[in-house]
A and B are shown apart, each in its own frame.
Chain A
Amino acid sequence: MIWVENVLVSSGEGGVYGERMLKEFRVWDPYRSKLAAYYYLGGEFELTPDLVVLYLGAANGTTVSHVADYAGTVYAIEFAPRPMQDLVAVARRRYNVVPLMADAALPERYAPLLEVADLIYQDIAQPEQVTIAIRNSMFLREGGRMLVMLKTRSIDTAEDPGVVLEHSVVAFEAARITVLDTKWLHPYHRDHAAMLCSPVWD
Protein backbone atom coordinates (compact mmCIF):
# COMPACT_ATOMS: atom_id res chain seq x y z
CA MET A 1 0.00 0.00 0.00
CA ILE A 2 1.19 3.53 -0.73
CA TRP A 3 1.42 5.99 2.16
CA VAL A 4 2.37 9.62 1.67
CA GLU A 5 3.05 11.49 4.93
CA ASN A 6 0.93 8.93 6.80
CA VAL A 7 -1.97 9.39 4.41
CA LEU A 8 -3.23 6.35 2.51
CA VAL A 9 -3.33 7.04 -1.21
CA SER A 10 -3.63 5.19 -4.49
CA SER A 11 -2.15 6.03 -7.84
CA GLY A 12 -4.55 6.51 -10.68
CA GLU A 13 -6.59 9.05 -12.58
CA GLY A 14 -8.30 11.38 -10.10
CA GLY A 15 -11.69 13.09 -10.12
CA VAL A 16 -13.77 9.95 -9.61
CA TYR A 17 -15.90 11.23 -6.73
CA GLY A 18 -14.24 14.52 -5.79
CA GLU A 19 -11.44 12.93 -3.78
CA ARG A 20 -8.49 15.07 -2.65
CA MET A 21 -5.17 14.72 -4.45
CA LEU A 22 -1.80 14.58 -2.75
CA LYS A 23 1.28 14.83 -5.02
CA GLU A 24 -0.23 13.02 -8.02
CA PHE A 25 -1.90 10.48 -5.72
CA ARG A 26 -5.55 10.01 -4.84
CA VAL A 27 -6.30 10.29 -1.13
CA TRP A 28 -8.22 7.28 0.18
CA ASP A 29 -10.40 8.45 3.08
CA PRO A 30 -10.87 5.95 5.93
CA TYR A 31 -14.11 7.64 7.00
CA ARG A 32 -15.65 7.02 3.59
CA SER A 33 -14.22 3.64 2.75
CA LYS A 34 -14.18 0.63 5.06
CA LEU A 35 -11.23 -0.86 3.22
CA ALA A 36 -9.19 2.31 3.78
CA ALA A 37 -10.13 2.16 7.47
CA TYR A 38 -8.92 -1.44 7.53
CA TYR A 39 -5.49 -0.34 6.32
CA TYR A 40 -5.34 2.61 8.73
CA LEU A 41 -5.92 0.13 11.55
CA GLY A 42 -3.00 -2.03 10.49
CA GLY A 43 -4.74 -4.50 8.18
CA GLU A 44 -2.09 -6.74 6.70
CA PHE A 45 -3.71 -8.04 3.49
CA GLU A 46 -1.95 -6.14 0.72
CA LEU A 47 -3.45 -5.37 -2.68
CA THR A 48 -0.94 -6.20 -5.41
CA PRO A 49 -1.00 -5.77 -9.22
CA ASP A 50 -1.38 -9.50 -9.89
CA LEU A 51 -4.61 -9.89 -7.88
CA VAL A 52 -7.99 -10.77 -9.33
CA VAL A 53 -10.57 -9.28 -6.96
CA LEU A 54 -14.24 -10.15 -6.72
CA TYR A 55 -15.90 -7.14 -5.14
CA LEU A 56 -19.40 -7.79 -3.76
CA GLY A 57 -21.45 -4.67 -3.06
CA ALA A 58 -19.61 -2.23 -5.28
CA ALA A 59 -22.11 0.60 -4.73
CA ASN A 60 -21.09 3.83 -6.50
CA GLY A 61 -17.63 2.53 -7.24
CA THR A 62 -15.69 4.88 -4.95
CA THR A 63 -13.81 2.13 -3.08
CA VAL A 64 -13.77 0.08 -6.29
CA SER A 65 -11.80 2.83 -8.02
CA HIS A 66 -9.10 2.69 -5.32
CA VAL A 67 -8.97 -1.11 -5.38
CA ALA A 68 -8.61 -0.95 -9.17
CA ASP A 69 -5.64 1.41 -8.75
CA TYR A 70 -3.84 -1.32 -6.82
CA ALA A 71 -5.16 -4.65 -8.11
CA GLY A 72 -5.00 -6.42 -11.47
CA THR A 73 -8.64 -7.03 -12.30
CA VAL A 74 -11.74 -6.10 -10.29
CA TYR A 75 -15.08 -7.81 -10.84
CA ALA A 76 -17.55 -5.38 -9.28
CA ILE A 77 -21.00 -6.70 -8.37
CA GLU A 78 -23.83 -4.30 -7.60
CA PHE A 79 -27.57 -4.87 -7.58
CA ALA A 80 -29.34 -1.50 -7.33
CA PRO A 81 -29.80 0.51 -10.54
CA ARG A 82 -28.99 3.95 -9.09
CA PRO A 83 -25.46 3.23 -7.83
CA MET A 84 -24.96 0.96 -10.85
CA GLN A 85 -25.13 4.00 -13.12
CA ASP A 86 -22.25 5.58 -11.20
CA LEU A 87 -20.34 2.30 -11.13
CA VAL A 88 -20.60 1.93 -14.91
CA ALA A 89 -19.24 5.47 -15.28
CA VAL A 90 -16.30 4.62 -12.99
CA ALA A 91 -15.63 1.38 -14.89
CA ARG A 92 -15.55 3.19 -18.24
CA ARG A 93 -12.48 5.16 -17.08
CA ARG A 94 -10.73 2.17 -15.45
CA TYR A 95 -9.96 -0.59 -17.88
CA ASN A 96 -9.42 -3.27 -15.24
CA VAL A 97 -12.92 -2.98 -13.75
CA VAL A 98 -15.64 -5.37 -14.93
CA PRO A 99 -19.06 -4.09 -13.77
CA LEU A 100 -21.76 -6.69 -13.17
CA MET A 101 -25.35 -5.85 -12.31
CA ALA A 102 -26.34 -8.88 -10.27
CA ASP A 103 -27.52 -10.04 -6.87
CA ALA A 104 -24.55 -11.25 -4.82
CA ALA A 105 -26.88 -13.74 -3.11
CA LEU A 106 -27.31 -15.60 -6.41
CA PRO A 107 -23.75 -16.30 -7.61
CA GLU A 108 -24.95 -18.91 -10.12
CA ARG A 109 -26.43 -16.04 -12.17
CA TYR A 110 -23.11 -14.35 -12.79
CA ALA A 111 -20.76 -17.34 -12.41
CA PRO A 112 -20.15 -17.77 -16.19
CA LEU A 113 -18.81 -14.20 -16.37
CA LEU A 114 -16.27 -14.55 -13.57
CA GLU A 115 -12.90 -16.16 -13.24
CA VAL A 116 -11.18 -17.56 -10.14
CA ALA A 117 -10.37 -14.77 -7.71
CA ASP A 118 -7.47 -14.19 -5.34
CA LEU A 119 -9.53 -11.96 -3.08
CA ILE A 120 -13.23 -11.72 -2.40
CA TYR A 121 -14.05 -8.40 -0.80
CA GLN A 122 -17.55 -8.03 0.57
CA ASP A 123 -19.28 -4.88 1.78
CA ILE A 124 -23.02 -5.44 1.60
CA ALA A 125 -25.85 -4.43 3.91
CA GLN A 126 -27.73 -7.71 4.13
CA PRO A 127 -28.79 -9.76 7.15
CA GLU A 128 -27.56 -12.88 5.32
CA GLN A 129 -24.21 -11.26 4.63
CA VAL A 130 -22.22 -14.24 5.96
CA THR A 131 -24.23 -16.83 3.98
CA ILE A 132 -23.71 -14.77 0.85
CA ALA A 133 -19.95 -14.65 1.45
CA ILE A 134 -19.86 -18.42 1.95
CA ARG A 135 -21.82 -18.98 -1.23
CA ASN A 136 -19.38 -16.83 -3.20
CA SER A 137 -16.33 -18.58 -1.78
CA MET A 138 -16.57 -21.07 -4.66
CA PHE A 139 -14.82 -18.46 -6.84
CA LEU A 140 -11.70 -18.39 -4.66
CA ARG A 141 -8.38 -19.68 -5.93
CA GLU A 142 -6.59 -22.11 -3.66
CA GLY A 143 -4.80 -19.95 -1.12
CA GLY A 144 -7.17 -17.05 -1.81
CA ARG A 145 -8.56 -14.80 0.90
CA MET A 146 -11.89 -13.34 1.76
CA LEU A 147 -12.19 -9.90 3.36
CA VAL A 148 -15.65 -9.42 4.80
CA MET A 149 -16.79 -6.06 6.15
CA LEU A 150 -19.32 -7.20 8.70
CA LYS A 151 -22.16 -4.73 9.17
CA THR A 152 -23.38 -5.91 12.53
CA ARG A 153 -26.30 -3.46 12.58
CA SER A 154 -27.59 -4.77 9.24
CA ILE A 155 -27.39 -8.33 10.52
CA ASP A 156 -29.23 -7.61 13.75
CA THR A 157 -30.16 -4.11 14.88
CA ALA A 158 -30.96 -5.08 18.43
CA GLU A 159 -28.15 -7.53 19.21
CA ASP A 160 -24.80 -6.48 20.65
CA PRO A 161 -22.27 -6.09 17.79
CA GLY A 162 -19.72 -8.27 19.62
CA VAL A 163 -22.21 -11.12 19.80
CA VAL A 164 -23.06 -10.73 16.10
CA LEU A 165 -19.36 -11.00 15.29
CA GLU A 166 -19.02 -14.15 17.42
CA HIS A 167 -22.01 -15.74 15.66
CA SER A 168 -20.52 -14.85 12.27
CA VAL A 169 -17.18 -16.44 13.16
CA VAL A 170 -19.03 -19.62 14.17
CA ALA A 171 -21.01 -19.58 10.90
CA PHE A 172 -17.81 -19.28 8.86
CA GLU A 173 -16.08 -22.06 10.77
CA ALA A 174 -19.11 -24.31 10.24
CA ALA A 175 -18.68 -23.78 6.49
CA ARG A 176 -15.01 -24.77 6.77
CA ILE A 177 -13.76 -21.23 6.41
CA THR A 178 -11.09 -20.16 8.90
CA VAL A 179 -11.31 -16.64 10.28
CA LEU A 180 -7.70 -15.49 10.40
CA ASP A 181 -8.19 -12.06 11.84
CA THR A 182 -10.98 -9.73 12.97
CA LYS A 183 -10.69 -5.99 13.42
CA TRP A 184 -13.25 -3.43 14.59
CA LEU A 185 -13.24 -0.44 12.27
CA HIS A 186 -13.70 1.96 15.17
CA PRO A 187 -13.29 5.03 15.16
CA TYR A 188 -13.83 5.30 11.38
CA HIS A 189 -17.00 3.20 11.12
CA ARG A 190 -19.31 2.33 13.99
CA ASP A 191 -20.28 -1.29 14.62
CA HIS A 192 -18.39 -2.55 11.58
CA ALA A 193 -15.81 -5.33 11.76
CA ALA A 194 -13.34 -6.49 9.12
CA MET A 195 -12.94 -10.28 8.95
CA LEU A 196 -10.07 -11.82 7.03
CA CYS A 197 -10.98 -15.40 6.16
CA SER A 198 -9.53 -18.30 4.28
CA PRO A 199 -11.34 -21.49 3.26
CA VAL A 200 -9.78 -24.75 4.42
CA TRP A 201 -8.21 -26.47 1.41
CA ASP A 202 -7.73 -30.18 1.35
Chain B
Amino acid sequence: MQSYWFGDIDETGCTPYRGGPEALAKRLETIKISPDRFIPFDWRNAGSCSFTRDRGEYIRKLRELCFYLSEAGITRQYESRDAEPLQMVRTLDQLDEVSNVLTERALEWHRITNPGFSRKYLHLPKQKLLPMMKRGGSPAFRQIINEIENLAAARTALMKEVSRRADEVVPNCSALLGGLVAARLVSQAGSLATLSRLPGSSIQVLGARTALFSHMRGGTPPPKHGIIFQHRRVHNAPKEVRGKVARVLAAKLAIAARLDLYRQELAPEFIEAAQAAVDNAGRVT
Protein backbone atom coordinates (compact mmCIF):
# COMPACT_ATOMS: atom_id res chain seq x y z
CA MET B 1 0.00 0.00 0.00
CA GLN B 2 1.16 3.50 -0.78
CA SER B 3 -0.21 6.62 0.94
CA TYR B 4 -0.55 9.94 -0.81
CA TRP B 5 -1.96 13.27 0.27
CA PHE B 6 -5.43 12.36 -1.02
CA GLY B 7 -5.65 8.77 0.17
CA ASP B 8 -4.22 5.26 0.12
CA ILE B 9 -3.76 3.18 -3.01
CA ASP B 10 -3.27 -0.61 -2.98
CA GLU B 11 -4.05 -3.57 -5.27
CA THR B 12 -7.75 -3.51 -4.38
CA GLY B 13 -8.16 0.15 -5.25
CA CYS B 14 -8.17 3.53 -3.62
CA THR B 15 -9.35 4.77 -0.23
CA PRO B 16 -9.68 8.54 -0.36
CA TYR B 17 -9.32 10.70 2.76
CA ARG B 18 -12.13 13.02 3.70
CA GLY B 19 -11.90 16.55 4.95
CA GLY B 20 -10.55 19.99 4.18
CA PRO B 21 -6.94 21.20 3.98
CA GLU B 22 -6.49 21.18 7.75
CA ALA B 23 -7.50 17.54 8.10
CA LEU B 24 -5.42 16.56 5.06
CA ALA B 25 -2.39 18.38 6.48
CA LYS B 26 -2.76 16.49 9.76
CA ARG B 27 -3.03 13.22 7.88
CA LEU B 28 0.01 14.09 5.78
CA GLU B 29 2.16 14.28 8.91
CA THR B 30 1.39 10.67 9.72
CA ILE B 31 2.51 9.37 6.31
CA LYS B 32 5.93 7.75 6.50
CA ILE B 33 7.89 7.32 3.29
CA SER B 34 10.81 5.01 2.65
CA PRO B 35 12.61 6.56 -0.34
CA ASP B 36 13.81 3.26 -1.84
CA ARG B 37 10.32 1.74 -1.99
CA PHE B 38 8.23 4.81 -2.72
CA ILE B 39 6.17 4.77 -5.91
CA PRO B 40 5.31 8.30 -6.97
CA PHE B 41 1.70 8.91 -7.84
CA ASP B 42 1.01 8.79 -11.56
CA TRP B 43 -2.05 10.60 -12.84
CA ARG B 44 -2.13 8.34 -15.90
CA ASN B 45 -2.90 5.24 -13.81
CA ALA B 46 -5.24 7.03 -11.46
CA GLY B 47 -8.29 5.47 -13.10
CA SER B 48 -9.00 3.25 -10.11
CA CYS B 49 -9.22 6.25 -7.85
CA SER B 50 -12.40 8.25 -8.27
CA PHE B 51 -11.85 10.91 -5.66
CA THR B 52 -11.83 13.67 -8.26
CA ARG B 53 -13.63 14.03 -11.54
CA ASP B 54 -10.71 15.28 -13.60
CA ARG B 55 -7.16 16.56 -13.44
CA GLY B 56 -8.35 20.14 -13.05
CA GLU B 57 -10.09 19.24 -9.83
CA TYR B 58 -7.12 17.19 -8.64
CA ILE B 59 -4.77 20.16 -9.02
CA ARG B 60 -7.31 22.55 -7.51
CA LYS B 61 -7.65 20.41 -4.36
CA LEU B 62 -3.91 19.86 -4.15
CA ARG B 63 -3.23 23.58 -4.50
CA GLU B 64 -5.71 24.34 -1.75
CA LEU B 65 -3.79 22.01 0.55
CA CYS B 66 -0.41 23.37 -0.53
CA PHE B 67 -1.38 27.01 0.06
CA TYR B 68 -2.52 26.00 3.51
CA LEU B 69 0.77 24.17 4.19
CA SER B 70 2.94 26.97 2.77
CA GLU B 71 1.28 29.65 4.82
CA ALA B 72 1.48 27.54 7.96
CA GLY B 73 5.16 26.91 7.21
CA ILE B 74 5.96 30.59 6.71
CA THR B 75 4.19 31.52 9.93
CA ARG B 76 6.04 28.81 11.83
CA GLN B 77 9.41 30.10 10.58
CA TYR B 78 8.68 33.71 11.47
CA GLU B 79 7.40 32.78 14.89
CA SER B 80 10.76 31.43 15.95
CA ARG B 81 12.08 33.34 18.93
CA ASP B 82 15.17 34.68 17.21
CA ALA B 83 13.44 36.15 14.14
CA GLU B 84 12.79 39.61 15.60
CA PRO B 85 16.12 40.20 17.42
CA LEU B 86 17.77 39.26 14.13
CA GLN B 87 15.97 42.03 12.25
CA MET B 88 16.73 44.41 15.11
CA VAL B 89 20.46 43.84 15.01
CA ARG B 90 20.54 44.25 11.22
CA THR B 91 18.59 47.49 11.57
CA LEU B 92 21.12 48.61 14.15
CA ASP B 93 24.06 47.99 11.84
CA GLN B 94 22.33 49.84 9.04
CA LEU B 95 21.53 52.76 11.32
CA ASP B 96 25.27 53.03 11.94
CA GLU B 97 26.01 53.01 8.25
CA VAL B 98 23.40 55.65 7.45
CA SER B 99 24.52 57.87 10.28
CA ASN B 100 28.18 57.63 9.25
CA VAL B 101 27.47 58.37 5.62
CA LEU B 102 25.36 61.40 6.53
CA THR B 103 27.96 62.65 8.99
CA GLU B 104 30.72 62.40 6.40
CA ARG B 105 28.66 64.29 3.87
CA ALA B 106 27.70 66.96 6.40
CA LEU B 107 31.37 67.35 7.24
CA GLU B 108 32.26 67.92 3.59
CA TRP B 109 29.51 70.51 3.42
CA HIS B 110 30.65 72.20 6.62
CA ARG B 111 34.20 72.31 5.36
CA ILE B 112 33.54 74.40 2.29
CA THR B 113 31.40 76.89 4.17
CA ASN B 114 34.11 77.30 6.84
CA PRO B 115 37.50 78.12 5.34
CA GLY B 116 39.00 77.99 8.82
CA PHE B 117 38.15 74.29 9.18
CA SER B 118 41.20 72.22 9.86
CA ARG B 119 42.07 68.59 10.13
CA LYS B 120 42.20 68.60 13.90
CA TYR B 121 38.40 68.63 14.01
CA LEU B 122 38.30 65.26 12.34
CA HIS B 123 39.55 63.66 15.52
CA LEU B 124 36.65 64.95 17.57
CA PRO B 125 34.15 62.31 18.68
CA LYS B 126 30.85 62.51 16.87
CA GLN B 127 28.99 63.86 19.91
CA LYS B 128 31.23 66.95 19.89
CA LEU B 129 31.63 67.25 16.14
CA LEU B 130 27.91 67.54 15.45
CA PRO B 131 27.11 70.46 17.83
CA MET B 132 30.28 72.20 16.60
CA MET B 133 29.11 71.96 12.99
CA LYS B 134 25.58 73.03 13.88
CA ARG B 135 26.78 76.44 15.04
CA GLY B 136 26.55 78.90 12.16
CA GLY B 137 25.12 76.48 9.57
CA SER B 138 22.15 77.33 7.40
CA PRO B 139 18.69 76.24 8.65
CA ALA B 140 18.59 73.27 6.27
CA PHE B 141 22.05 72.20 7.38
CA ARG B 142 21.08 72.44 11.04
CA GLN B 143 18.06 70.31 10.37
CA ILE B 144 20.24 67.60 8.82
CA ILE B 145 22.49 67.63 11.88
CA ASN B 146 19.43 67.33 14.10
CA GLU B 147 18.35 64.28 12.16
CA ILE B 148 21.76 62.67 12.60
CA GLU B 149 21.50 63.30 16.32
CA ASN B 150 18.02 61.79 16.34
CA LEU B 151 19.40 58.73 14.57
CA ALA B 152 22.02 58.41 17.28
CA ALA B 153 19.28 58.52 19.92
CA ALA B 154 17.29 55.89 18.05
CA ARG B 155 20.39 53.76 17.86
CA THR B 156 20.97 53.92 21.60
CA ALA B 157 17.38 52.91 22.30
CA LEU B 158 17.54 50.07 19.79
CA MET B 159 20.85 48.84 21.19
CA LYS B 160 19.36 48.54 24.68
CA GLU B 161 16.38 46.71 23.27
CA VAL B 162 18.59 44.29 21.31
CA SER B 163 20.67 43.48 24.40
CA ARG B 164 17.55 42.90 26.45
CA ARG B 165 16.03 40.59 23.84
CA ALA B 166 19.30 38.72 23.37
CA ASP B 167 19.42 38.06 27.11
CA GLU B 168 16.04 36.38 26.78
CA VAL B 169 16.52 34.51 23.52
CA VAL B 170 20.19 33.52 23.74
CA PRO B 171 20.93 33.76 27.50
CA ASN B 172 24.07 31.63 27.45
CA CYS B 173 25.70 33.27 24.44
CA SER B 174 24.82 36.67 25.91
CA ALA B 175 26.43 35.76 29.21
CA LEU B 176 29.67 34.93 27.41
CA LEU B 177 29.69 37.70 24.81
CA GLY B 178 27.28 40.40 25.93
CA GLY B 179 23.84 40.78 24.40
CA LEU B 180 24.73 42.92 21.39
CA VAL B 181 27.63 40.81 20.12
CA ALA B 182 25.64 37.63 20.76
CA ALA B 183 22.79 39.02 18.66
CA ARG B 184 25.27 39.93 15.90
CA LEU B 185 26.57 36.37 15.96
CA VAL B 186 23.05 34.96 15.51
CA SER B 187 22.41 37.47 12.74
CA GLN B 188 25.60 36.50 10.91
CA ALA B 189 24.80 32.77 11.19
CA GLY B 190 21.25 33.38 9.94
CA SER B 191 19.36 31.92 12.89
CA LEU B 192 19.95 30.38 16.26
CA ALA B 193 19.28 26.94 14.83
CA THR B 194 21.99 27.41 12.20
CA LEU B 195 24.40 28.83 14.75
CA SER B 196 23.89 25.88 17.05
CA ARG B 197 24.83 23.50 14.26
CA LEU B 198 28.12 25.24 13.52
CA PRO B 199 31.38 23.89 14.92
CA GLY B 200 33.44 26.17 17.14
CA SER B 201 35.96 26.72 14.39
CA SER B 202 33.27 28.22 12.14
CA ILE B 203 31.91 30.40 14.93
CA GLN B 204 35.43 31.69 15.50
CA VAL B 205 35.61 33.16 11.99
CA LEU B 206 31.93 34.13 11.52
CA GLY B 207 32.01 37.62 10.08
CA ALA B 208 35.55 37.30 8.71
CA ARG B 209 34.39 35.99 5.38
CA THR B 210 36.73 38.00 3.15
CA ALA B 211 39.77 37.03 5.19
CA LEU B 212 38.69 33.39 5.31
CA PHE B 213 38.19 33.08 1.56
CA SER B 214 41.36 34.94 0.72
CA HIS B 215 43.08 32.41 2.98
CA MET B 216 41.38 29.47 1.25
CA ARG B 217 42.19 30.76 -2.20
CA GLY B 218 45.81 30.87 -1.29
CA GLY B 219 48.57 32.53 0.59
CA THR B 220 47.20 34.78 3.29
CA PRO B 221 47.21 33.69 6.93
CA PRO B 222 43.86 32.44 8.28
CA PRO B 223 41.68 34.88 10.25
CA LYS B 224 41.91 34.51 14.03
CA HIS B 225 38.51 35.96 14.77
CA GLY B 226 35.39 37.41 13.20
CA ILE B 227 32.55 38.99 15.13
CA ILE B 228 33.82 37.66 18.44
CA PHE B 229 36.71 40.13 18.12
CA GLN B 230 34.17 42.70 19.32
CA HIS B 231 34.19 41.04 22.70
CA ARG B 232 36.57 42.75 25.08
CA ARG B 233 38.24 39.50 26.18
CA VAL B 234 39.37 38.97 22.60
CA HIS B 235 40.36 42.48 21.56
CA ASN B 236 41.97 43.25 24.92
CA ALA B 237 43.97 40.05 24.94
CA PRO B 238 47.71 40.35 24.25
CA LYS B 239 48.37 39.80 20.58
CA GLU B 240 50.25 36.53 20.99
CA VAL B 241 47.33 34.79 22.74
CA ARG B 242 44.47 36.51 20.95
CA GLY B 243 43.95 33.64 18.55
CA LYS B 244 43.92 31.19 21.43
CA VAL B 245 41.36 33.22 23.37
CA ALA B 246 39.19 33.47 20.25
CA ARG B 247 39.42 29.72 19.71
CA VAL B 248 38.47 28.81 23.28
CA LEU B 249 35.69 31.39 23.38
CA ALA B 250 34.29 30.12 20.07
CA ALA B 251 34.34 26.53 21.28
CA LYS B 252 32.41 27.53 24.40
CA LEU B 253 29.98 29.55 22.27
CA ALA B 254 29.22 26.46 20.19
CA ILE B 255 28.08 24.75 23.39
CA ALA B 256 26.27 27.86 24.61
CA ALA B 257 24.31 28.14 21.33
CA ARG B 258 23.12 24.55 21.73
CA LEU B 259 22.07 25.22 25.31
CA ASP B 260 20.20 28.31 24.10
CA LEU B 261 18.39 26.37 21.39
CA TYR B 262 17.40 23.32 23.41
CA ARG B 263 17.40 24.30 27.06
CA GLN B 264 16.37 27.91 26.49
CA GLU B 265 17.62 29.05 29.88
CA LEU B 266 20.82 30.14 31.55
CA ALA B 267 23.16 27.36 32.70
CA PRO B 268 25.19 29.08 35.45
CA GLU B 269 27.56 26.18 36.12
CA PHE B 270 28.47 26.01 32.41
CA ILE B 271 28.97 29.78 32.15
CA GLU B 272 31.26 29.77 35.19
CA ALA B 273 33.44 26.99 33.80
CA ALA B 274 33.48 28.59 30.34
CA GLN B 275 34.49 32.01 31.70
CA ALA B 276 37.32 30.36 33.64
CA ALA B 277 38.50 28.54 30.52
CA VAL B 278 38.52 31.75 28.48
CA ASP B 279 40.35 33.64 31.25
CA ASN B 280 42.85 30.85 31.44
CA ALA B 281 43.50 30.99 27.71
CA GLY B 282 44.20 34.71 27.97
CA ARG B 283 47.03 34.27 30.44
CA VAL B 284 50.45 34.80 28.93
CA THR B 285 52.87 32.21 30.21
Q: Flag whether A183 is at the interface (Cβ < 8 A).
A: no
Give CA–CA (A139, B43) in the complex, Å.
13
Residues of B within 8 A of A190 (CB): none
Q: Flag whether B104 is at the interface (Cβ < 8 A).
A: no
Known: A135-B35, A138-B38. A95 touches B66 (CB 8 A): no
Q: Flag whether B174 is at the interface (Cβ < 8 A).
A: no
CB distance A112 to B70 under 8 Å?
no
CB distance B70 to A101 under 8 Å?
yes
Residues of B within 8 A of A73 (CB): 59
- Residues A75-112 near B (CB distance < 8 A): 81, 84-85, 87-88, 91-92, 95-101, 107-109, 111-112
Q: Flag whether B117 is at the interface (Cβ < 8 A).
A: no
CB distance B216 to A157 under 8 Å?
yes
Identity of the chain A residue whose Cβ is nearest the Cβ of B75 in the assembled complex = A81
Residues of B within 8 A of A113 (CB): 4-5, 28, 62, 65-66
Give CA–CA (A129, B70) in the complex, Å.
23
Q: Flag whether A125 is at the interface (Cβ < 8 A).
A: no
Give A175 Cβ to nearest chain B Cβ, in Å.
13
Name A100's contact: one of B38, B42, B69, B217 (CB within 8 Å): B69
Residues of A within 8 A of B262 (CB): none
Q: Flag whether B109 is at the interface (Cβ < 8 A).
A: no
Identity of the chain B residue whose Cβ is nearest the Cβ of A141 in the assembled complex = B42
Name B62's contact: one of A88, A98, A117, A141 (CB within 8 Å): A98
Contact with B along A105-144 (1 / 0, CB 8 A): 0011101111111000000000000000001001101000
Residues of B within 8 A of A109 (CB): 33
B interface residues (Cβ-Cβ under 8 A, vs A) = 3-5, 28, 31, 33-35, 38, 40-43, 59-60, 62-63, 65-67, 69-71, 73-74, 77-78, 213, 216-217
Give CA–CA (A74, B158) in the complex, Å.
44
Identity of the chain A residue whose Cβ is nearest the Cβ of B31 in the assembled complex = A112
Give B182 Cβ to nearest chain A Cβ, in Å.
23
CB distance B67 to A108 under 8 Å?
no
Q: Flag whether A158 is at the interface (Cβ < 8 A).
A: yes
Residues of A within 8 A of B43 (CB): 52, 115-116
CB distance A96 to B59 under 8 Å?
yes
A interface residues (Cβ-Cβ under 8 A, vs B) = 52, 73, 81, 84-85, 87-88, 91-92, 95-101, 107-109, 111-117, 135, 138-139, 141, 157-158
Give A170 Cβ to nearest chain B Cβ, in Å.
23
Give CA–CA (A86, B213) in the complex, Å.
32
CB distance B69 to A101 under 8 Å?
yes
Name A108's contact: one of B34, B41, B59 (CB within 8 Å): B34
Give CA–CA (A200, B126) in the complex, Å.
68
Question: What are 20 contact pairs spanning A and B, CB under 8 A?
Answer: A88-B71, A91-B63, A91-B66, A92-B67, A95-B60, A96-B59, A99-B66, A107-B35, A108-B38, A111-B40, A112-B31, A112-B33, A113-B4, A113-B28, A114-B41, A115-B43, A116-B42, A157-B216, A158-B213, A158-B216
Residues of B within 8 A of A101 (CB): 69-70, 73-74
Identity of the chain A residue whose Cβ is nearest the Cβ of B38 in the assembled complex = A111
CB distance B66 to A100 under 8 Å?
yes
Give CA–CA (A157, B216) in the complex, Å.
9
CB distance B4 to A112 under 8 Å?
yes
Residues of A within 8 A of B33 (CB): 108-109, 111-112
Extra inter-chain contacts (9) besides given A81-B77, A98-B63, A158-B216, CB under 8 Å: A91-B66, A109-B33, A111-B40, A112-B3, A112-B31, A113-B4, A116-B43, A138-B40, A158-B217
Give B29 Cβ to nearest chain A Cβ, in Å.
10
Residues of A within 8 A of B5 (CB): 112-113
Residues of A within 8 A of B62 (CB): 98, 113
Give CA–CA (A109, B34) in the complex, Å.
10
CB distance B216 to A95 under 8 Å?
no
Name B73's contact: one of A84, A91, A95, A96 (CB within 8 Å): A84
Name B70's contact: one of A88, A117, A135 (CB within 8 Å): A88
CB distance B213 to A114 under 8 Å?
no
Residues of B within 8 A of A91 (CB): 63, 66-67
Residues of A within 8 A of B63 (CB): 91, 95, 97-98
Which 8 pairs across A and B sit closest by C-beta, in order of nearness? A101-B73, A81-B77, A108-B33, A115-B41, A101-B70, A116-B42, A81-B74, A116-B40
